[in-house]
Amino acid sequence: MRSFLSIGAAASCLLSNVVATRIPARVGARAADSVVKPKVMIVSMFDPEADVWYGIPEFDVLAMNITIPGGSPLFPDVHCTANGDVCQYTIGESEINAATSIASLVRSPRFDLTTTYFMIAGIAGVNPEVASICSVTFAKYAVQVALQYEFSQFEIPTNFTSGYIPLGAHSPQQYPTSIYGTEVFEFNQDLQHWAAEQARTASLNDSSDAVAYRANYGVNAAYAAGAAPPAVYECDVATSDVYYSGTILGEAFGNFTTLITNGSGVYCTTAQEDNATGEALLRAAIDKLLDFSRVIVMRTASDFDRPYPGEAATTNLFWAEQGAFGPAIENIYLAGIKVVNGILDGWDGQFARGMNASNYVGDIFGSLKGSIEPDFGPYTYNNNPVKRSTKSMRRKTMKPVRVL
Ligand SMILES: *[C@@H]1O[C@H](CO)[C@@H](O)[C@H](O)[C@H]1NC(C)=O
Ligand SMILES: *[C@@H]1O[C@H](CO)[C@@H](O)[C@H](O)[C@H]1NC(C)=O
Ligand SMILES: *[C@@H]1O[C@H](CO)[C@@H](O)[C@H](O)[C@H]1NC(C)=O
Ligand SMILES: *[C@@H]1O[C@H](CO)[C@@H](O)[C@H](O)[C@H]1NC(C)=O
Ligand SMILES: *[C@@H]1O[C@H](CO)[C@@H](O)[C@H](O)[C@H]1NC(C)=O
Ligand SMILES: *[C@@H]1O[C@H](CO)[C@@H](O)[C@H](O)[C@H]1NC(C)=O
Ligand SMILES: *[C@H]1O[C@H](CO)[C@@H](O)[C@H](O)[C@H]1NC(C)=O
């Protein structure tokens, strides 16, 4: 691993070709460090997701490496094109790595992210009720599904549908009464629609093993989408450090997604980071370091979250040759490049200004104080239910939350 100093020296040599997107260092930044203002920041979680962006014909993100103090020891550098327009950052897997890496990035003096589009681009498990393996999905919601009570399967009351119970509730179907703030994030739906449209122009990768495996799901009409060829979907992502698998937990977390989004979320993919990434981005957005309406969450489907009828859950997770990992990785690039190029090509006409969301964007607390009210959440904090109907009321009631 290279030290921060040597990277800084290397970067300042590279930076001698001054480019339009670079602006003078902010007060407080090291004199030798110039500030990079990316148009797009691609966020990967581990090597295979990152590698698809290296050695591609469209741009070279390995032209400039910038070490981020506080980043994952495995992935110390943000990688950028020479002109700083496109960067790629690997944040590490699971919630703690994701939150810590993003929190470090958004407060790095080496970057101005105020107009940057963040494209979270990773693989995920997929719900066969909504989509098939190798598909590409864009989320409106990210839901932290395992932020709940849990009993061992040996102690679950016989009348409970799963061992997970929302915090502060007394049964699985009850709405939580204790809200931490990271349960749900809602992203810009206009940007989600636009990104999905771009991705639909891509021709997606698939494999013969995946074709054979998904056909098994066709015997259950509820899994018709799981048996269909890969496509681009707009549906929501679950976040859980626990890599859960099987029909019962898939349904339980699907139910929780429905519950916590007041019926508007559709659980389709499961991964280990997006709510953590979302929270770190949201906190930076509160401090005006970035624009939360410029976040895209793209997940490609690398495996089914549950077995097909008749198959053991363990077979689906451990032993089956689903054949979707390679195509899902490939599809991050095939679909994602359309989104990145769309932003770059449309920068001057539209994307520099931003794309206003016609839906609420932000967290369950309404922390961003936008003009649109949250369409989910009970707005409770520390078990104190807070009724809000007006903006002025929200300001008052949200204040204690923001100082924490
Ligand atoms: C940036 O880092 C990658 C490895 O992570 C390396 O292959 C590449 O050469 C580096 N680029 C520069 C300009 O040093
Ligand atoms: C389960 O049964 C217990 C005891 O009869 C009851 O108190 C509880 O409400 C039931 N829970 C559900 C989810 O039905
Ligand atoms: C998927 O990608 C692999 C590896 O690049 C390639 O060999 C295969 O032909 C592609 N298949 C389709 C259906 O695009
Ligand atoms: C999911 O919700 C449905 C409808 O309320 C219910 O019938 C089902 O048992 C739930 N499944 C789980 C695993 O909680
Ligand atoms: C977004 O909305 C704001 C306030 O309603 C408006 O001033 C701005 O021009 C809009 N921006 C775009 C790109 O439409
Ligand atoms: C969401 O559902 C909860 C629980 O039913 C309710 O308290 C809350 O008011 C709902 N929120 C919205 C925005 O409808
Ligand atoms: C957390 O994940 C849930 C489900 O995937 C999603 O609806 C919510 O928007 C996410 N929150 C953030 C802050 O990303």
Residue 65 in contact with ligand 1 by CB distance below 6 A = yes
Question: 160 CB less than 6 Å from ligand 2?
Answer: yes
| 7 band by pLDDT with thresholds 50, 70 and 90 | very low
Q: How far, in Å, CA of 26 to CA of 113, rounded?
A: 13
| Residue bearing tokens 């693989």 | 123
Q: Is the CB of 158 under 6 A from ligand 2?
A: no
Locate the ligand 1 atom nearest the alpha carbon of residue 65 and give its number.
1
Measured by CA distance, the residue closest to atom 6 of ligand 4 is 161
Residues contacting residue 389 through CB under 8 Å, at least 6 positions apart: none
The model's confidence at residue 274, banded by pLDDT at 50, 70 and 90, is low
- Residue whose Cα lies nearest atom 11 of ligand 5: it is 356
Q: What percent of the chain has pLDDT over 90?
A: 54
- In the predicted model, is pLDDT for residue 178 greater than 70? yes
127 and 233 Cβ atoms separated by less than 8 Å: no
Q: Of the ligands numbered here, which is closest to the C-alpha atom of 159?
A: 2
Query: What is the rounded distance in angstroms from the CA atom of residue 166 to the CA atom of residue 176?
Result: 5
**What is the structure's pLDDT at 18?**
33
Higher pLDDT, residue 4 or 324 = 324
Chain-centroid distance of CA 22 in Å reads 27
Reported as a pLDDT band with limits 50, 70 and 90, residue 404 is very low
What was the pLDDT predicted at 64? 97
**Best probe residue, ligand 4, of 149, 175, 255, 267 (max atoms within 8 Å of C-beta):** 255
> 11-20, 29-38, 107-116, 147-156: which has the minimum mean pLDDT?
11-20
Full set of structural domains in the chain with CATH: 1-113 (no CATH), 122-403 (3.40.50)
Mean predicted confidence (pLDDT) in 146-169:
87
pLDDT band at 271 (very low <50, low <70, confident <90, very high): low
Rounded distance from Cα 103 to ligand 3 centre (Å): 36
Lowest mean pLDDT among 16-30, 224-238, 362-376: 16-30
What pLDDT score was predicted for residue 354?
Answer: 95
Contacts of 135 (CB under 8 A, 6+ apart): 126, 204, 230, 231, 232, 233, 300, 301, 331
Report pTM.
0.80
Nearest ligand to the CA atom of 161: 4
Q: What is the mean pLDDT of residues 125-144?
A: 90
Give the range among 41-55, 253-267, 339-353 with minimum mean pLDDT: 253-267
User: Region 111-115: what's the mean pLDDT?
Assistant: 97
The pLDDT tens digits for 67-85 are 999 999 899 999 999 999 9
3-state secondary structure of 159: coil
| Protein residues whose CB sits closer than 6 Å to any atom of ligand 7 | 141-144, 182, 184-186, 236-239, 257, 265, 274-275, 278-279, 282, 363
* Distance of CA 396 from the midpoint of ligand 6 (Å): 19
Minimal-distance CA residue to ligand 5 atom 7: 356
pLDDT band at 378 (very low <50, low <70, confident <90, very high): low
* Ligand 5 atom with the shortest distance to the CA of 356: 1
User: What count of other Cβ atoms lies within 10 Å of the Cβ of residue 403?
Assistant: 5
Task: Give me the pLDDT at residue 217, please.
Answer: 98
Q: Best substitution site from 239, 244, 264, 269 to test ligand 7's pocket, by max atoms within 8 Å of Cβ?
A: 239
Better-scored residue on pLDDT, 178 or 159: 159
Task: Give pLDDT, residue 273.
Answer: 61
> Closest-lying ligand to the alpha carbon of 140?
7
Going by the DSSP 8-state scheme, the letter that residue 404 receives in this structure is -
Q: Which of 46, 56, 79, 89 to mutate to test the pocket of ligand 1 (most atoms within 8 A of CB)?
A: 79
Take residue 349 and report the two structure tokens written for it.
């006409």
Distance 187 CA to ligand 1 centre (A): 32
- Find the ligand nearest to 375 CA: 6
Ligand (nearest to CA of 352): 5
Range with the largest mean pLDDT of 109-118, 174-183, 247-256: 109-118
8 falls in which pLDDT band (50, 70, 90)?
very low
Does residue 223 carry a pLDDT above 50?
A: yes
Per-residue pLDDT at 173: 85
Alpha helices, DSSP H, located in 293-351: 313-314, 325-345
Average pLDDT, rounded, for the chain: 83
Ligand 3 pocket residues where CB is under 6 Å = 205-206, 327, 330
Q: Is the pLDDT of residue 175 over 90?
A: no
Lowest-confidence pick of 26-35, 38-47, 257-266, 342-351: 26-35
